[in-house]
A and B are shown apart, each in its own frame.
Chain A
Amino acid sequence: AQSVTQLGSHVSVSEGALVLLRCNYSSSVPPYLFWYVQYPNQGLQLLLKYTTGATLVKGINGFEAEFKKSETSFHLTKPSAHMSDAAEYFCAVSPRGGKLQFGAGTQVVVTP
């Protein structure tokens, strides 16, 4: 069984400030972990994924995430927020690929 918890349903950041979105998971097997972004009225776009190997994963648009097995976490960060980062972000887990279990999402608002 797997589950995903995203801490904070809404996050507000100033333009240029650090973006930090928190994700914790539980999984009965070593998981694959994902972050997706969803812009209004659009489908989900993959930001990055962790499967095996290096625990710091770099994705598109300057985002990165670090897999910490001891903390069962996969937090997403971006050093400097841009207005175009305003969107909803979903963390997801799957047992070695295929079907995804999503968290409830975090809405990011970027203020000038």
Chain B
Amino acid sequence: DTGVSQDPRHKITKRGQNVTFRCDPISEHNRLYWYRQTLGQGPEFLTYFQNEAQLEKSRLLSDRFSAERPKGSFSTLEIQRTEQGDSAMYLCASSDPGATNEKLFFGSGTQLSVL
């Protein structure tokens, strides 16, 4: 399977706990994006990487959020001191910017519930 995979699919945590999500992009894709989607809304951009470099971060990404892509392959998104407002679907996508008509391929997401 060469799709984008995300782990875990679901995460339930208590307020104040830290959580970490993982995204494995399509292997030849050097761009990786994180989005957040709340109920009834479209996905909102959080951040993206070109290889291991984090090139852009949204203002939505508070200092409790940190994303890494240490070797330019998989990426992790950590949320510290979770709040109920962090409950959302976290989507990862990857792309090959060198391809004609670059397009994003999305994973199935990690559904976070903060109690």
Contact of B108 among A42, A49, A51 (CB under 8 A): A42
With A44-B91, A44-B106, A49-B101 as contacts: A100 and B45 at CB distance below 8 Å: yes
Cβ contact within 8 Å between B44 and A102:
yes
Residue of A nearest to B108 (CB): A43
Interface string of B79-109 (1 = CB under 8 A from A): 0000000000001010101000111111111
Contact of B33 among A34, A51, A99 (CB under 8 A): A99
Interface string of A86-103 (1 = CB under 8 A from B): 000010100001111111
Contact of B102 among A4, A36, A44, A97 (CB under 8 A): A97
Min C-beta distance of B74 to chain A, whole Å: 17
Cβ contact within 8 Å between B43 and A44:
yes
Q: How many pairs of residues, A versus B, come closer than 8 Å at their CB atoms?
A: 52
Does A45 count as interface, using CB distance less than 8 angstroms? yes
Cβ contact within 8 Å between B109 and A43:
yes
For A92, the chain B residues whose CB sits under 8 A away are 42
Cβ contact within 8 Å between A102 and B97:
no
Min C-beta distance of A3 to chain B, whole Å: 11
Min C-beta distance of B85 to chain A, whole Å: 18
With A43-B4, A43-B91 as contacts: A105 and B101 at CB distance below 8 Å: no
Q: Which of A1-53 contact B (CB under 8 A)?
A: 4, 9, 34, 36, 41-46, 49, 51
Does A104 count as interface, using CB distance less than 8 angstroms? yes
Cβ contact within 8 Å between B44 and A45:
no
Interface residues of B (CB under 8 A from A): 4, 31, 33, 40-45, 48, 56, 91, 93, 95, 97, 101-109
